[in-house]
Structure 1
Amino acid sequence: MNLIKKGIGTLLIAGLMVSSCSDDDNIASPGMTSIVLSSFEVTPSGDGTVVTVTPLSVGVDSYVVDFGHNGSTATISEQNGSATYDYPNEVEEVSYTITVTAKATGQSDVTKSENVTVIHTPPTVSTTPTSPDGNDSDVFAIFSNGMDFDGSLLSWENRIDVADVIANIIPIDGNDIIQISRLGAEAGVVELDEEVVVAHAFASPANDNPDGIGATDIHFDVHSVFAEGINKLKITLINGDNDDEYVLDGIDLVDSEWANLSYDLATDFSAPVVRIDEIKFEVGAGGTANDHATISVDNIILTKDPSATILNGGFDLSTAQWRFATFTDGTTTPFGSSSDGSWTNYDGTDNGSKTRGAKWTSSQSGGPQQGSSSRNAYQAVTLTPNTDYILEYEYAIKDDTADDPIGGRRIVGIVLDGHYIDGADAIADIDSNLGNHVGTIAQGKFSDTVGTLVQIPFTSNDSGEVSVLFYAVTPKDAWIDNVKVYAN
């Protein structure tokens, strides 16, 4: 059996011979030229389903080619002629029997047949969608190579891997695309490596804390050429925990262009989305599936609205929301998680004991000691433009005997004038800030009597896009806790 596949060369078919009157392929009457049907060639083209049959023979007036599909035949009248047929594309791999019958006046027909397997390889989309940009902390990636940054793709901090795709994953200029075909006959399913719980997608609950930071929307980039794809899409998000399905049907696509699709997880599907284990793609209601019914999918991401308040300001969720997306010549690790936080709860009530907090050690100091090991806590917020606010937090610094750095041991809090992707850019702009405080009170760890409250007044900029940054300069440990931003 021969395989016909896109990109392979000419296949010579010289297999089983079937004759209507003899087992020989040379048939003649005395004094007449015999028919010699030695073989025929089958040449694939296009996406693998277009085949051209060229008989190799002598003494023949014409040929009848039966392509073995729905009675499709073609007659070849000229020598060295050929016949072409385009098999259907709905199925990925199908076997057919091609039969060539040679005819000559006054002689019996000579027939050759061969089984061939046609493998359909849909063409790959030649373009990629625009890569998402914005705050890394606002995106949770299910399938995406990253955010657009300085002309390249920067991997997302919050992401999971795709465990299995009933489709092809095709690299195009360094950007992976999911290609799903034959949607007229079956669904395309993307299985996730682990479940995504919408309510705390941006922070896995620490210490069994059920609270988290939830996603609000889901985004897809989808490409379809209607003549060989689909024009309407159905997306089903599947909760494998209890087999719930969240359905969005009848989505209009854009012919031969990438469609940017974004939906509210709470209101746009058949029910509010709680958890996602699989994503299923099908032909949408009222839509048609043509030819090989192929779509391409990229940038399956969950997003949340830009925050107007500090998230995880009490550090119960460890470092969630406090990282830079990247840090040239530095680390994106913002601080060390600690159980030596303030004795005051985030709501201002007395906890009666220490809570979680953010910690710096001497080797993680920044400022004049900034280096590749320095840790900087960063969070972007989007506020009402040109409005008065207060950045509030508590800090504590160990008072153990040690050689103090120049300027003394300290915790520094800063309100930056803008959002940043690269931490190195933020550090370079520290001096052009909207407000700052250098805390030098060193009385030891947080306790029921130790902890310094800081309130930094500032006015938001014209865009409302500001960010907060913390670092420590200390030969001993230092902490912050209960970080808040609120209107003044």
Structure 2
Amino acid sequence: MNLLKKGIYTLLIAGAVISCEDDNDIFRPVESQKGSGLTEISFSSFTAKVGADANGVEDGTYVTVQPLTIGASTITIDFGAGSSPVTIEQGGSASYDYPNNVASATYTINVTANSASLGSVSKTEDITIVHKASAVASAPASPTVGLEEVLSIYSGGIELNDATISYRYSASGADYKKGAAQYAEVTTDSGNKVIQYSRLSQSVGASIGLDEVVVADAFESGVAATKIHFDVHSDFAVGIDKLKISLVNGTTEYVYNKDLTDGEWVSLDLDLATDFSAPVVKFDEIKFELGAGGTAKDAASLSVDNVYLEKPITSTILNGDFDAKTDHWRFTTFTDGTTTPFGSSSDGSWTNYDGTDNGSKTKGAKWTSSQSGGYLATANTRYGYQALKLTPNTDYILEYEYAIKDDTADDPIGGRRMVGVVLDSHYTDGADAVKNIGSNLGSHVGTIAEGKFNATRGTKVTLEFTSNDNGEVAVLFYAVTPKDAWVDNVKVYLK
């Protein structure tokens, strides 16, 4: 009975407390963030976070400041970059896009919490802004120029049959960071790597340094480059709209200017004799700058890909004496085969390329038994191939020397032979060329097997043929032999 009375009494007390709280807020006063009840501003901290701007661009320069205060009527934020301070209300935030005129910089952010009755409290924090290159969404079209016609400065190569084929020859001494502009190699959304230069202007340039390129001898002595290729891209909102390209040789600059297209890759095939401010003789630097009258915005970025020198396919056989080993004699690709054309050899003809007697052996092209073609063909069969551009419907002569070992061995059906063919087209894939060997403009099957070249041994071939309607022909060599065979001193000339 007493316990029951005690419990009822406790409930009555609790009810009285609740009733008083609801009426007069005596027991749970609500904390006031403003007003005479506070004696000072409470300013614990602020955060400064880097993130994406209103357009979704996240390049490391867009910062949002969020103060945490109690008792402030307004908050002033000075981002420390020389702009006017920003005033916000308590609980708010403010954002600022720092300039991209330098790759990185440290700024002091000052945040002041203000109250008319409580005064003000300030906090500072240093923040280092590092510009990050914006991702490039697209990549330029893959080059189509054959591997033997290109001296690469910067390029991933050719996309062919869902595979990437790297360029075989590269310019020496390439330094992509030579200029004062910011350099980065970035990956596009499609997975292609490109150069991205930022903070370009008419006084700040990006540069690719090279060992000196003599245009007339760019590929080898007497083998000139006629064009230089660039793929360039700019988003005008964060880039440049006009481009100046200079090929630099000491104090001499060969200049080309181009208006860019917003958000699109622009492909440039520039003639070294006619497209620059003067015919280009030699250079050791490629410079990219903002063009005259152009506008540079935000990071002033330019993306660059597929920079290479190009030589034309001509009527002249290159490396016909094989002093440069296998240069200029390969297919771009060979389905189920090899693009290696032959083996380099020091057992070539005793005759020089100009027809004079050398007095000893020279270099040549060599085939072994395991590299034979014809009905002995395997995945290891080797074919020497070189494309030519001749005057259409004109009589020519293919001239070369060959030799075949006469050592004892089981000869193939038809005997040992060294075969030279003039193909009726250009081919990218060696498998297509071999498939069409029978459709040719002329061929010679050499069967004289007297041993390797010496002072008196070696067979000269002069094969007459007439070029086709477009002049696009090619020379091809292969051997069918159980023993070594050689070719040397290959020439094509008018009949």
Q: TM-score when scaled to structure 2?
A: 0.83
Q: Which structure 2 residues correspond to residues 339-418 of structure 1 after superposition, within 5 A?
A: 339-351=346-358, 353-418=360-425
Determine the structure 2 residue equivalent to 1:219: 229
2:198 paired residue number? 181
CA distance in 1, matches of 2:251, 2:370: 49
Query: In the alignment, is the contact (CA less than 8 A) between 1:28 and 1:35 conserved in 2?
Result: no
Which of 219, 238, 244 does residue 202 from structure 1 map onto?
A: 219
Matches of residues 71-110 of structure 1 in structure 2 within 5 Å? 71-77=83-89, 79-110=90-121
CA distance in structure 2 between the partners assigned to 1:68 and 1:174 by the alignment: 38
Deviates more, 1:47-56 or 1:138-147: 47-56
Is the 1:250–1:286 Cα contact (8 Å) retained in structure 2?
Answer: no
1:150-169 aligned within 5 A: 150-160=161-171, 162-165=174-177, 167-169=183-185
> For residue 233 of structure 1, what is the aligned residue in structure 2?
243
Greater gyration radius: 2
3-state SS of paired residue (2:462)? strand
Query: Which residue pairs with 2:431 in the alignment?
Result: 424
Give the partner amino acid of 1:76: I
Q: Secondary structure at the match of 1:226?
A: coil
Return the letter of the residue paired with 1:378.
Y
Contact 1:416–1:432 (CA under 8 A) maintained in structure 2: yes
Q: Per-residue CA shift, 1:116-153, capped at 9, x if unaligned?
A: 11112231221111121132111111100002312432
1:55 aligns with: 67
Structure 2 portions without partners, runs of 5+: 1-32, 53-58
AA of the residue aligned to 2:463: I
Cα deviation per residue 1:252-308 (whole Å; 9 max; x = unaligned)? 333322122232334544665455544332223333322211101101100011222
The one-letter code matched in structure 1 to 2:62 is V
126, 134, 152: which one aligns with 1:115: 126
Q: Name whichever of 131-140 and 458-467 sits farther off.
A: 458-467
Q: Summarize the Cα distance change of 1:31–1:441 in structure 2 as closer, same or farther, 3 Å threshold.
A: closer
- Contact 1:28–1:34 under 8 Å retained in 2: no
Query: SS where residue 170 of structure 2 aligns?
Result: coil
Q: Please state if 1:191 is matched with 2:209.
A: yes
Return the letter of the residue paired with 1:69.
A
Task: Please report how far the alpha carbon of residue 62 of structure 1 lies from its aligned counterpart in structure 2 after TM superposition.
Answer: 1.6
Query: Quick check: 40-49 or 155-164, which moved more?
Result: 155-164
CA distance in 1, matches of 2:483, 2:251: 52
Matched, 1:44 2:42: no
Letter in 2 for 1:113: T
Answer yes or no: is 1:288 the counterpart of 2:304.
no
**TM-aligned CA deviation for residue 48 of structure 1:** 2.0
Comparing 388-397 and 274-283, the one that deviates more: 274-283
- The TM-score, its normalising length taken from structure 1, stands at 0.84
CA contact (8 A) 1:360 1:478 kept: yes
Q: Which consecutive unaligned segments of at least 5 residues does structure 1 have?
A: 1-26, 204-210
| Residue 458 of structure 2 corresponds to residue 451 of structure 1 | yes
Separation (CA, whole Å) in 1 of partners of 2:134 and 2:70:
38
Query: Take 1:244 and 1:264, find their aligned partners in 2: how far apart are those partners?
Result: 21
Query: What's the CA shift for 1:469?
Result: 0.9
CA contact (8 A) 1:220 1:299 kept: yes
Of residues 164, 170, 175, the one that matches 2:186 is 170
* 8 A Cα contact 2:39 2:118, kept in partner: no
Query: Pairwise CA RMSD of aligned residues?
Result: 2.8
The answer to whether the 8 Å contact 1:411/1:478 transfers is: yes
Going from structure 1 to structure 2, the CA distance change for 1:398 and 1:221 (only over 3 Å counts) comes to same
Distance 1:71 1:136 in 2: 54
- Residue 434 of structure 1 pairs with residue 441 of structure 2: yes
Aligned to 1:302, the other structure's residue is in SS state strand
Secondary structure of the 1:109 match is: strand
